[in-house]
């Protein structure tokens, strides 16, 4: 049985890979949690995000976007003073801002999930050629660029095209598991999937 190479770093990453990464998300609380982690990860390692996930959960009311949207300066101070918390006022303020933007999208679309899944008509994209070019997958593409541009217009912060591409992978809108990975076929068999050609403007690192 194959496995995605990046996931075999430690047990924490392995569990995340096996149970979450690439599994389609249709719950707004979980979708916000994924977006939260991606925003906080900017400039840092993903393993650190997983390591601090419970600290984030405790600091931010279990990723309840409605409660986070009401945070004020005292909450920012509380979070900054939490032991082992990432002490970035800009990121914490961005999370609060994003919670407010998240609410506005829900007002317009009913759910944030309906909004973001509308870009793929509710289907998981399976790009032909990913993992076949020297074993690499993109860090951004045309889809992530379009969504990033729209989210920025809506006021979201820390949502560049690379961050959004990572988010689309995490929440199952793009299935970028290695073709030999057991999760690859499991996701395809349990969710509506459509094969797509490589999107214009794919960027690799």
Q: Pick the residue with more confidence: 92 or 4?
A: 92
Given a cut of 50, is residue 97 above it in pLDDT?
Answer: yes
Catalytic position from the list 3, 6, 11, 38: 38
pTM across the whole model: 0.94
Q: Select which of 3, 46, 109, 119 is catalytic.
A: 46
- Residue 26: burial class (beta carbons within 10 Å; 0-12, 13-18, 19+): middle
Catalytic residue among 3, 6, 11, 16: 16
Q: Which CA distances in Å does 111 have to 5, 78, 93, 100?
A: 34, 29, 23, 13
CATH topology of domain 5-196: Endonuclease III; domain 1 (1.10.340)
Can you tell me the distance from the alpha carbon of 189 to that of 187, in angstroms, rounded to the nearest whole number? 6
Per-residue DSSP letter, 132: -
Of 38, 85, 41, 88, the closest CA to residue 60 belongs to: 85
Say if residue 66's pLDDT is above 90: yes
Q: Taking 60 as the threshold, does the pLDDT of residue 10 lie above it?
A: yes
pLDDT digits (tens, 9 = 90+) for 19-34: 999 999 999 999 999 9
Confidence of residue 136 (pLDDT cuts 50, 70, 90): confident
Q: Which of 5-19, 58-72, 143-157 has the lowest mean pLDDT?
A: 5-19
What is the residue whose two structure tokens read 């007002």? 107
For a pLDDT cut of 70, what percent of the chain falls above it? 95
pLDDT in tens, 77-88: 999 999 999 999
Which two three-digit tokens encode residue 3? 């496995």
Give residue for tokens 């309906």: 114
Q: Among candidates 81, 18, 21, which has minimal Cα distance to 49?
A: 21
In angstroms, rounded to a whole number, what is the distance separating the alpha carbons of residues 94 and 16? 25
Active site residue 38: yes
For the cut 50, the answer to whether the pLDDT of residue 131 exceeds it is yes
Q: Give dist(CA 19, CA 133) in Å, integer.
A: 26
Q: With bands split at pLDDT 50, 70 and 90, how would you rate the model's confidence at 174? A: very high
pLDDT of 133 reads 47
pLDDT of residue 135: 60
Answer yes or no: is pLDDT of 108 > 50: yes
Q: Residue 138's pLDDT is what?
A: 87
User: In the chain, what are the domain boundaries?
Assistant: 5-196
Whether residue 54 lies in the annotated active site: no
Helix (H, G, I), strand (E, B) or coil at 60: coil
Whether the predicted pLDDT of 58 surpasses 90: yes
φ, ψ dihedrals at 196, nearest 5°: -130, 150
Active site residue 93: no
- pLDDT of residue 150 exceeding 70, the answer is yes
Distance separating alpha carbons of residues 133 and 118, to the nearest angstrom: 29
């Amino acid at each position: 049985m194959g496995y995605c190479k990046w996931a075999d770093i430690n047990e924490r990453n392995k569990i995340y890979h096996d149970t979450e990464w690439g599994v389609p998300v249709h719950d707004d609380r979980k979708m916000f949690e994924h977006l939260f982690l991606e925003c906080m990860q900017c400039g840092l390692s993903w393993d650190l995000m997983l390591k601090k996930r419970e600290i984030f959960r405790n600091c931010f009311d279990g990723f309840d976007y409605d409660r986070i949207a009401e945070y004020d300066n005292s909450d920012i101070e509380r979070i900054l003073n939490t032991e082992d918390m990432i002490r970035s006022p800009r990121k914490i303020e961005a999370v609060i801002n994003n919670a407010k933007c998240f609410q506005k999208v829900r007002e317009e679309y009913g759910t944030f999930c309906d909004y973001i899944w509308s870009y793929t008509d509710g289907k998981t994209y399976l790009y032909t050629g990913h993992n076949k070019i020297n074993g690499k997958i993109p860090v951004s593409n045309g889809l992530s660029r379009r969504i990033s541009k729209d989210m920025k217009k809506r006021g979201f912060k820390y949502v560049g095209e690379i961050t959004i591409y990572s988010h689309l992978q995490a929440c199952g809108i793009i299935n970028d598991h290695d073709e030999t990975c057991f999760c690859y076929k499991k996701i395809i068999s349990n969710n509506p999937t459509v094969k797509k050609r490589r999107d214009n403007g794919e960027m690799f690192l």
